[in-house]
Amino acid sequence: MKEFNIAVMHGDGIGVEIVNASLEVLEKIGEKYNVKFNTKNALLGGAAIDATGIPLPEETIKICKESDAVILGSVGGPKWDSLPGAKRPEKALLGIREALGLYANLRPAKVYEALKDACPLKDSIVNEGVDLLVVRELTGGIYFGERGRVKKDVDSAYDTESYDVNEIKRIAHVAFKSARQRRGKVTLVDKANVLESSRLWREVVNEIHKEYTDVELEFMYVDNAAMQLVRKPSQFDVVLTNNIFGDILSDEASMITGSIGMLPSASVREDSFGMYEPIHGSAPDIAGKDIANPLAQILSVAMMLRYSLDMKEAAEDIERAVEKVLKDGYRTADIYAEGMKKVGTKEMGELVVSKL
Ligand code: IPM
Ligand code: MG
């Protein structure tokens, strides 16, 4: 029997419930496809602070490195908000991405047929189809650049956006390769009319594009992209962008799909290893109430099967199961509409399992 080692970090807030729901799905996949998943829990974020005093313990990095893939819920919450920057749960998230070298973040956003009504855009816009992939650079840029405070007559603070050619090259390859598997178009989103780093991105991406002449490449300023996403989302296939623009635009894209509770993500590198987490946060206000939507987490597990474990069929199986459950009218509170059947986190997970 095939075996895989999976590191599991529930994290904080709703992370705990939604990861548990997704593990039920993984277990069912194991039975159905005759694969053994050895899961090992690791602490990250607030949970790690409470248990060990630091947000990213060495032990966690070790467990992740010894695994074939990592499942992550979400981190953060008001309990740890007053801690200084370097000790916050979010720091652990950036730290683990960096420690594992996961420079490419894939965030697919598509509107499910059954959820069309949850999309806040006009029917005439949605009907053209929304199916895009944000390829976000994840271990560079302003998130990791030099930052600090300067004390002069007036106190000031700075953060630095900086990229080198190699960082841009490798993420560009990911975007072009992804486009080949999709509709063959890459839009590089930047602010090249103002930022020098953006101008370097354009040069490098243009250069790499020569190896992918079958893929169409276009450039778009980020302010325009934010507008075009709601004006005509169907024009986008792969959106390639830096760390911070990717953070912002993927939230915007998620809202177009109806709920941020639906969007999975994969953080990957050259080899098959990856970390899989929903794009949403820990939603502390609804944590522990069994009302959070586990579908983004469940769909993240599907991405793990596809990208890290070479189990494409099983991934599609999960995606189909999710579609069926939605089609049958089951909804968690965030995507609930009149006439539908409202279910909680656990039940939603069980429903997906029942369709596998
Ligand atoms: C995300 C989140 C994180 C990010 C935060 C929690 C640090 O917003 O994964 O999009 O900005 O990368
Ligand atoms: Mg974000």
- Distance (Å) from CA 76 to ligand 2 centroid: 12
Task: Indicate if ligand 1 lies below 6 Å from the C-beta of 130.
Answer: no
- Choose which residue among 93, 94, 105, 282 to substitute to test ligand 1 binding: the one with the highest number of ligand atoms within 8 A of its C-beta: 93
The reply to whether 57 sits in an annotated binding site is no
Specify the pLDDT at position 287. 96
Specify the pLDDT at position 117. 83
Specify the pLDDT at position 296. 96
281-293 pLDDT, tens digit each:
999 999 999 999 9
Specify the pLDDT at position 260. 86
Residue of the nearest CA to atom 11 in ligand 1?
Answer: 247
- Domains located in the chain, CATH noted: 1-110+260-356 (3.40.718.10), 120-257 (3.40.718.10)
Specify the pLDDT at position 288. 96
State which ligand 1 atom lies nearest to the alpha carbon of 244: 11
Angle between helix 15-33 and 312-327 (nearest 10): 120
Instruction: For Cα atoms 226, 232, 234, give the angle at the middle one, nearest 5 degrees.
Output: 110
206-261 pLDDT, tens digit each:
999 999 999 999 999 999 999 999 999 999 999 999 999 999 999 999 989 888 89
Task: Indicate if ligand 1 lies below 6 Å from the C-beta of 317.
Answer: no
Inform me whether the pLDDT recorded for 24 exceeds 90: yes
pTM: 0.94
Average pLDDT over residues 193-214: 98
User: What mean pLDDT value characterizes the chain?
Assistant: 96
Q: Which residues are near ligand 2, the ion (C-beta closer than 5 Å)?
A: 247
71-88 pLDDT, tens digit each:
999 999 999 999 998 899
- The more confidently predicted of residues 256 and 7 is 7
154: DSSP letter: S
Percentage of the chain exceeding pLDDT 70:
100
Question: Given its phi and psi angles, is residue 184 left (phi above 0), alpha (psi -120 to 50 degrees) or beta?
Answer: left
Percentage of the chain exceeding pLDDT 90:
93
Residue of the nearest CA to atom 8 in ligand 1?
Answer: 247
Inform me whether the pLDDT recorded for 143 exceeds 90: yes
pLDDT band at 34 (very low <50, low <70, confident <90, very high): very high
pLDDT band at 137 (very low <50, low <70, confident <90, very high): very high
104-117 pLDDT, tens digit each:
999 999 998 888 88
Angle between helix 345-354 and 15-33 (nearest 10): 10
Helices within the chain (DSSP H only): 15-33, 46-52, 58-65, 89-99, 123-126, 165-181, 196-209, 222-231, 243-256, 295-307, 312-327, 345-354
Specify the pLDDT at position 339. 94
pLDDT band at 196 (very low <50, low <70, confident <90, very high): very high
Specify the pLDDT at position 240. 98
